[in-house]
Amino acid sequence: MKSVAIIGGGITGLTAAFRLQQKNIPVTLYEAGDRVGGVIQSVRCDGYLAEFGPNTLLETSPKVAALIDDLGLSDRRVYSDPTAKNRYVVRGKRLIKMPESPLGFIATPLFSPVAKLRLLLEPFIQRHDKSREESVAGFVQRRLGREFLDRAVDALVGGIYAGDPQKLSVSQAFPKLCALEKEYGSLIKGQVFGARKRKRSGEVAKPHARKFSFDEGLQVLTETLCAKLKGEVRMRCPVTALTQSDKAWNVRWRSHGNEGQTPHSAIVYAGTAFGLSKIEIETRVPVNVSSFADIHYPPVASVVLGFRREDVAHPLDGFGMLIPRLEGFRILGSIFSSSLFPNRAPAGHVTLTSYVGGTRSPELAHERAEELCHIVYEDLRVLLGIRGKPTFKHHVLFPKAIPQYELGYGQFRNLMAETEIGAPGLFLAGHYRDGISVSDCIVAGKQVAERIKKYLVDVPVERGTRPIEPHARVAA
Ligand SMILES: Cc1cc2nc3c(=O)[nH]c(=O)nc-3n(C[C@H](O)[C@H](O)[C@H](O)COP(=O)(O)OP(=O)(O)OC[C@H]3O[C@@H](n4cnc5c(N)ncnc54)[C@H](O)[C@@H]3O)c2cc1C
């Protein structure tokens, strides 16, 4: 049997490859870069462990825990420190704990009394008219009020998507919020009455899911996945074209100045959306992938700074801090990495991971290293009471970091579904389609492996009987 080509060695592609291999389906993985992991990047240096891409994985689905078990990584998994569960949000240049209970909500200085009273109206607010797509900002303002949007959700969206709630589509970026409104008519009622349903499905809502990493960071996961693959892993091997013939999918690739072509039984495209737009696809029915270049990925710089513990006044007793736009800081937020997981900093030191750029200030992400560190240092100085110089400085720029599921994103998702119909045997999966979190990508990798298994079982009959039509050629 010809192998299935997996294009992209990030968490989605690696999970799909591993799951296919478990089904005795051979795989060949193509990765354009010189390492696997995609945006997952953990670096051990000078006693610090810097995590530049995602810092935590959420146990939202049993499929996530199953992958860790199947890889034999349970012993290396590290859950976040339970004492570091406070999430801070900045208001008036001060860090304020995000309330976790109704009583905490009543007492918190994060919202004004008017905003708190406004929240009581939420269960009585009408459902949205489905004919109009709503932004995250529109949804939150309508259901929870303006202050909730400006003080909490703006910061949260900056932390998750590095995005803008005015531009993101609520149904695309936060589909579960829409589902709660649709089913229960209210987010508050949905939280209360939906709990039993979630328990039955084994799914856990993101805010309540356990967070974890590994002893040497999240890269342990992607490196282990890669090490377990028995099929070929072709590094520095970008795929440039895909051609569907009657018997196979031919993958054209470039490697070390050479070009070649290899036949495969099916393809998983687990790269980026803008990467997909550059791939030439020749198939029976014309498919147009060039518009995927329009999916907006803003730049983000991850800046990891280390400090002596005594040089940071704040107790760092939490996950980290989120900063709403109206506070006027230049960083989007910070993770208190060494509070969250052990061994992220040498004894007596701490590690802070901060993010700069996103849709809020894309130009800042491209600043030179020294300027970036200065920007981050200045904000941390004011917010966390930092005195001394950093003992560790490192940063990574993601020029195109996270896809923004903006208003109209449904058209891209429809086009992805149409592409798969027009090009049977080509499967699209990953952060640009299935949700941006690492756990979403793990679930997507498993699901696409199941879809391929079904395709390979169903397809021989179909392929033998289908007349071969002239190829339609679509170049980006
Ligand atoms: C700074 C940052 C912080 C984040 N924080 C978190 C977090 O804390 N928690 C969380 O759950 N999520 C977080 N995310 C999101 C999450 O990490 C990503 O959405 C997820 O890892 C994407 O995985 P992927 O495999 O779909 O894509 P990627 O990781 O982008 O991998 C795609 C791979 O495909 C390769 N490729 C592309 N085109 C080709 C081609 N033509 N040929 C061959 N190879 C190709 C690329 O080189 C790349 O290696 C964060 C993301 C960023 C950028």
Please tell me the distance from the alpha carbon of residue 205 to that of residue 176, in angstroms, as a whole number: 9
- For residue 402, the ligand 1 atom closest to its alpha carbon is 53
Q: pLDDT for 271-312, tens place per residue?
A: 999 999 999 999 988 888 999 999 999 999 999 999 999 999
- Using the mean position of ligand 1's atoms as its centre, give its distance from the Cα of residue 401 in Å: 8
Q: What percent of the chain has pLDDT over 90?
A: 83
Q: pLDDT for 103-134, tens place per residue?
A: 999 999 999 999 999 999 999 998 887 778 99
SS3 263: strand
**Residue with CA closest to ligand 1 atom 5:** 54
Bridge partners of 392, per DSSP, are 306
**Residue with CA closest to ligand 1 atom 53:** 401
- For residue 39, the ligand 1 atom closest to its alpha carbon is 29
Please tell me the distance from the alpha carbon of residue 196 to that of residue 247, in angstroms, as a whole number: 48
Please tell me the distance from the alpha carbon of residue 438 to that of residue 431, in angstroms, as a whole number: 8
- Using the mean position of ligand 1's atoms as its centre, give its distance from the Cα of residue 30 in Å: 15
Residues 178-185: what's their mean pLDDT?
A: 90
Please tell me the distance from the alpha carbon of residue 373 to that of residue 379, in angstroms, as a whole number: 10
Write the DSSP assignment of 70-85 as a string of letters: HTT-GGGEEEPPGGG-
pLDDT at 201 over 80: no
- Using the mean position of ligand 1's atoms as its centre, give its distance from the Cα of residue 270 in Å: 9
pLDDT at 213 over 90: yes
Q: Best mutation site among 56, 438, 439, 443 for ligand 1, i.e. most ligand atoms within 8 A of its Cβ?
A: 438
Q: Which distant-in-sequence residues (6+ apart) come within 8 Å of 159 by Cβ?
A: 322, 332, 333, 355
Residue with tokens 């390979």: 456
Please tell me the distance from the alpha carbon of residue 413 to that of residue 432, in angstroms, as a whole number: 9
pLDDT at 458 (0 to 100)? 82
**Residue with CA closest to ligand 1 atom 50:** 54
pLDDT at 133 (0 to 100)? 94
- For residue 436, the ligand 1 atom closest to its alpha carbon is 19
- Kindly report the average pLDDT of the chain as a whole number: 93
- Using the mean position of ligand 1's atoms as its centre, give its distance from the Cα of residue 196 in Å: 33
Residue with tokens 């509070």: 339
* Run of H or E residues at 12: helix 11-22
pLDDT at 269 over 90: yes
Please tell me the distance from the alpha carbon of residue 388 to that of residue 208, in angstroms, as a whole number: 36
pLDDT at 335 (0 to 100)? 98
Within 6 A (CB) of ligand 1 lie 7-13, 30-33, 38-40, 53-56, 238-239, 270-272, 275, 279, 300, 302, 398, 401-402, 430-431, 436-439, 441
465 falls in which pLDDT band (50, 70, 90)? very low
- Using the mean position of ligand 1's atoms as its centre, give its distance from the Cα of residue 36 in Å: 10
- For residue 440, the ligand 1 atom closest to its alpha carbon is 11
- Using the mean position of ligand 1's atoms as its centre, give its distance from the Cα of residue 11 in Å: 7
- Using the mean position of ligand 1's atoms as its centre, give its distance from the Cα of residue 184 in Å: 34
pLDDT at 468 over 50: no
**The one-letter amino acid at 5:** A
Q: pLDDT for 339-364, tens place per residue?
A: 999 999 999 999 999 999 999 999 99
Q: Best mutation site among 431, 433, 439 for ligand 1, i.e. most ligand atoms within 8 A of its Cβ?
A: 431
Q: pLDDT for 402-435, tens place per residue?
A: 999 999 999 999 999 999 999 999 999 999 999 9
pLDDT at 454 over 50: yes
- Among the listed residues 18, 43, 396, 419, the one whose alpha carbon sits nearest the alpha carbon of residue 227: 18
Q: Which distant-in-sequence residues (6+ apart) come within 8 Å of 209 by Cβ?
A: 58, 59, 60, 439
pLDDT at 475 (0 to 100)? 34
Residue 22 half-sphere exposure toward CB, CA atoms < 13 A: 16
Q: pLDDT for 24-50, tens place per residue?
A: 999 999 999 999 999 999 999 999 999
Residues 393-402: what's their mean pLDDT?
A: 98
**Residue with CA closest to ligand 1 atom 48:** 38
Please tell me the distance from the alpha carbon of residue 221 to that of residue 67, in angstroms, as a whole number: 9
- For residue 11, the ligand 1 atom closest to its alpha carbon is 25
Which position has the higher pLDDT, 239 or 208? 239
pLDDT at 467 (0 to 100)? 35
- Among the listed residues 178, 179, 176, the one whose alpha carbon sits nearest the alpha carbon of residue 134: 178
Please tell me the distance from the alpha carbon of residue 138 to that of residue 189, in angstroms, as a whole number: 20
- Using the mean position of ligand 1's atoms as its centre, give its distance from the Cα of residue 114 in Å: 41
- Using the mean position of ligand 1's atoms as its centre, give its distance from the Cα of residue 190 in Å: 31
Residue with tokens 């406070």: 86
Q: Which distant-in-sequence residues (6+ apart) come within 8 Å of 198 by Cβ?
A: 204, 205
Which position has the higher pLDDT, 288 or 399? 399
pLDDT at 471 over 50: no
pLDDT at 464 over 70: no
196 falls in which pLDDT band (50, 70, 90)? confident
**Residue with CA closest to ligand 1 atom 25:** 10
Write down all domains in the chain, each with its CATH number in brackets. 4-38+218-295+405-474 (3.50.50.60), 42-61+71-83+298-398 (3.90.660.20), 111-205 (1.10.3110.10)
State the Rg of the chain over Cα: 23
pLDDT at 460 (0 to 100)? 59
- For residue 33, the ligand 1 atom closest to its alpha carbon is 47
- Using the mean position of ligand 1's atoms as its centre, give its distance from the Cα of residue 10 in Å: 6
- Using the mean position of ligand 1's atoms as its centre, give its distance from the Cα of residue 375 in Å: 26
- Using the mean position of ligand 1's atoms as its centre, give its distance from the Cα of residue 39 in Å: 4
